[in-house]
Chain A
Amino acid sequence: MDTFAALAHGMAVAIQPVNLLYALIGVFLGTAVGVLPGIGPALTVALLLPVIYKLDPGGSLIMFAGIYYGGMYGGSTTAILINTPGESASMATALEGNKMAKAGRGGPALATSAIGSFVAGTIATIGLAFLAPWLVDFAVRFGPEDYFALMCVAFVTVSATFGDSPIRGLTSLFIGLTLGLVGIDKLTGQARLAFGVPELLDGVEVTTLAVGLFAVGEALYVASRRHHSEEKLEPVRGSLWMTKEDWKRSWKPWLRGTMFGFPIGALPAGGAEIPTFLSYSTEKRLTKYPEEFGKGAIEGVAGPEAANNASAAGTLVPLLTLGLPTSATAAMMLAGFQQYGLNPGPLLFAERPDLVWGLIASLFIANVMLLVLNLPLVGLWVRLLAIPQPWLYAGILVFATMGTIAAKPSVVELSMLAGFGVLGFLMRRFDFPIAPVVVGLILGPIAESQLRRALAISLGDPMTLLQSPISATLLGIALIALLAPFVLKGLGRFKANED
């Protein structure tokens, strides 16, 4: 009752023409900066924050929401069109999205990503409005041992997406895990594998690795194949829009992605990557078109994109109810709040309902505005692919370099980008899957530090992993997911031939 009234009031403010204009400008700016590879929504907001400071509180929150969603969508656009994820969370999108784009289905890929983001964002924002207090109690109960168990589930399920050869997939994964060791050990403060290079002390930046492997590696690979067989790129084949079939195949992944994204995003150390990976591997298992996965399956875009957006709304749960900024983006939002001299915290909902509901209403508006701005632009974006290959890939290299430099101005960072590019090229050349490297880099360090934290708290007793009900349940799920394929294979050996 109160919730509705407050939300309605927030909406009334947000749809004033001036504020709509702010939303439009915000979405536009966010998309424009967000398409730079390596620049995700958090950095986009950070770069544009000085612009927002000049506005009144209402307008600035709205523009803020616009920039945030715009930056997120910009990251997905480059992931789909030029295989260059703007941030780690849109990596899963690049896997299928770029294959779709190459097959002339870039239009539907962009559309399902935009609409999926809208659907997930809307559902998750409603969830935020109604479930936040309850959800946060659950989230706080998650201890280090439970996070470790969640990582186990992620490792097991994601390893299913490692492609045809488990050995090659595991090799890639271990490259990623090794890269994840680089830098200062979080628990003891000692440097590992840094070789005395100060820039390496903070570890390998996920976006640098992803952009290097995906974008630079691909550019090198295409260049090397140029005289062998030119890959035919079809900018557009069939409709630019989603067909009835596309809709039918997209709506369930949208909803499932939301179910992964929102709760995991609400966990203080949940993040956006795990739900996107989980969503991707779930869609791969559930799809009726397994043969299309790896060649451009629309489910593989719809699910992760929805999960990505839903987790973003999820991170607002601990931010608004506890004052916990659990992601880089949430930390930027905190900065946004602080300009009005208030710290989000348990009292925020009670003390400043106008601001909280204003923000939530702005998120709705920004979501709508994103659709309005980007759906008509899909046709224009897709034209990018009609650019002759040498130009296109030269452009990709320039943008990849610029994005990396903007995020971290250092020679070492650029050298790493180039090095990962070569690695990406070699892995493509010799048929090793690339995604597990990034998965290893992201999940490895989290799993390690959570396990060690859990053991430090329990004074070295490993039973702590089984004593927590959440952890025990998750480990059980991981075990079942690990063993089920072998058991099923044993039961129906003849079925295996069909693969």
Chain B
Amino acid sequence: MSRFFARLAGAAVALTLAAATPSFAQQLELKLMAPAAPGGGWDQTARSMQQALVASGVARSVQVTNVPGAGGSVGIAQFVNGAKGDGNQMMVNGFVMVGALAMNKSPVTLEQVTPIARLTEEIQVIVVPANSPIRNAQDLAAAVRADIAKVTFAGGSAGGVDHVMAALFAGAVGADAKKINYIPFSGGGESLAAILGGKVTAGISGLSEYEGQIKSGKLRAIGVTSEKRIPGSDIPTFREQGIDLVIANWRSVVAPPGITPEQKKTLSDAVEKMVKSDAWKEILKQKGWEDAYLGGDAFADFLKKETVRVTDVLKSVGLVKS
């Protein structure tokens, strides 16, 4: 109900402002879509952007809408068709959407949207229960090479970043990624229970999600996926342990297709300003997100490369039929 009224109010404000002459950024009236239900990562990213954009004075108002469904497939379809050419709309997305679109054979692809910027990333980790005989990444690699079917990985939904990472790990240590025994759980909660209970060999998730358990000694982290060691952390990266596995759960923001270069510049500038604001930095600290800002063509390039890499992995594990 309250959201309904908020929308009404938002619409009223928008109407009043449309009558006034728009000068610049101060007058930006943005609509931001989170293609997921309230509460998840994309929704939190959208709402954090809303907070930072308004607090830093980049935009006058930002309205967040949620369009949940199928890893963002429903949202992006609505976004591409409904917001075409609208320079006041943006959508949050991320790693998971790449896989979801491929798996759901979505008629709409990420090639159709206008990339704006990558915002954040979360480093991934592989953990084992504290009493596991596996001490480091090489132990796990040896187990995977010995009999890949017996090594069970617990993680998030099929085709998500955890699943892709399990396949990449197997490939990187010279095993057949096709044969990984990956057990998807809905949400970090359930998989964590399975790991703590010793039901599976190893667990994969975002580092922040398991940080408490790692600190308290219930889980042992055997490697993180960042390129370099996280400052102040005693968890080694996979690269340090001789395994080429670098991956991160990134989140980004995109604009609709068919906008003019001027509109794109306005949005890109607004996002860049927001990323540099204190309000945004405060939010990143609070939520434990890494700043991974990457704008302009560099981001467009990155998006293309990730799409190819993820689709290849999903094909190799049989989730996407080529």
Contact = CB atoms under 8 A, between A and B. Distances in A.
A435 to B, nearest CB: 24
A188 B2 CA distance: 38
A179 to B, nearest CB: 17
A201 B159 contact: no
B150 A201 contact: no
A199 B69 contact: yes
B287 A338 contact: yes
B319 interface: yes
Contact of A341 (B68, B70, B150, B286): B286
Nearest to B218: A346
Interface stretch (A54-62, A98-106, A321-329): A321-329
B104 A198 contact: yes
B270 interface: no
A376 interface: no
A51 B189 contact: no
B211 A143 contact: no
B216 A198 contact: no
Interface stretch (A40-48, A243-251, A275-283): A40-48
A186 B157 contact: yes
Given A198-B73, A201-B73, A143 B212 contact: no
A43 B184 contact: no
Interface string B157-194: 11100000000000000000000010111111110111
A325 B189 contact: yes
B2 A140 contact: no
B4 interface: yes
Nearest to B197: A140
Contacts of B106: 198
Contacts of A322: 192-193, 196, 213
Nearest to A201: B70
Interface string B55-85: 0000000000111111001100100000000
A193 interface: no
A186 B64 CA distance: 29
A326 B189 contact: yes
Contact of A198 (B77, B149, B152, B211): B77
A188 B200 CA distance: 18
B286 A338 contact: yes
A174 B54 CA distance: 51
Contacts of A318: 189, 193
Contacts of B287: 338
Contacts of A42: 39
Interface string A305-322: 000000000000010001
A294 B222 CA distance: 56
Contacts of B265: none
Nearest to A339: B286
A355 interface: no
B136 interface: no
A141 interface: yes
B319 A346 contact: no
A253 to B, nearest CB: 30
A268 B152 contact: no
Q: Assign chain A's interface to a size class.
A: 35 or more
A33 B68 CA distance: 21
Contact of B149 (A51, A184, A459): A459
Interface string B226-249: 000000000000000000000000
Interface in A388-422: 406, 408-410
B276 interface: no
A189 interface: yes
Nearest to B68: A408
Contact of A144 (B103, B158, B196, B199): B199
Contacts of A139: 193
B193 A142 contact: yes
A358 B70 CA distance: 38
B44 A268 contact: no
A179 B285 CA distance: 43
Given A188-B158, A346-B213, A46 B38 contact: yes
Interface string A152-191: 0000000000000000000000000000000011111111
B194 A143 contact: yes
A141 B199 CA distance: 8
B2 A51 contact: yes
Contacts of B149: 459
A47 B3 contact: yes
- The listed residue with most A CB atoms (<10 A of its CB), out of B103, B187, B188, B319, is B187
Interface in A29-54: 32-33, 36, 42-43, 46-48, 51
Contact of A457 (B44, B70, B74, B200): B200
B1 interface: yes
A371 interface: no
Contacts of B66: 409
A287 interface: no
A186 B184 contact: yes
A401 to B, nearest CB: 13
Interface in A192-206: 198-199, 201-202
B1 A456 contact: no
A332 to B, nearest CB: 6
Contact of B184 (A51, A187, A459): A187
B74 A269 contact: no
Contacts of A456: 152, 181, 183
Given A48-B2, A324-B190, A341-B285, 18 more contacts: A32-B1, A33-B2, A51-B2, A143-B199, A198-B73, A201-B69, A322-B196, A323-B212, A325-B189, A331-B187, A335-B44, A343-B288, A345-B215, A347-B216, A409-B65, A453-B183, A456-B181, A457-B199
16 contacts: A33-B2, A47-B2, A140-B196, A189-B158, A269-B193, A323-B192, A335-B44, A345-B213, A345-B215, A406-B4, A408-B69, A409-B65, A410-B67, A410-B74, A453-B185, A457-B181
Interface of A: 32-33, 36, 42-43, 46-48, 51, 139-144, 184-191, 198-199, 201-202, 268-269, 318, 322-326, 328, 330-332, 335, 338-339, 341, 343-348, 406, 408-410, 453, 456-457, 459
10 interchain residue pairs of minimum CB distance: A345-B212, A189-B158, A201-B70, A324-B189, A268-B193, A46-B38, A346-B216, A143-B199, A189-B159, A140-B197
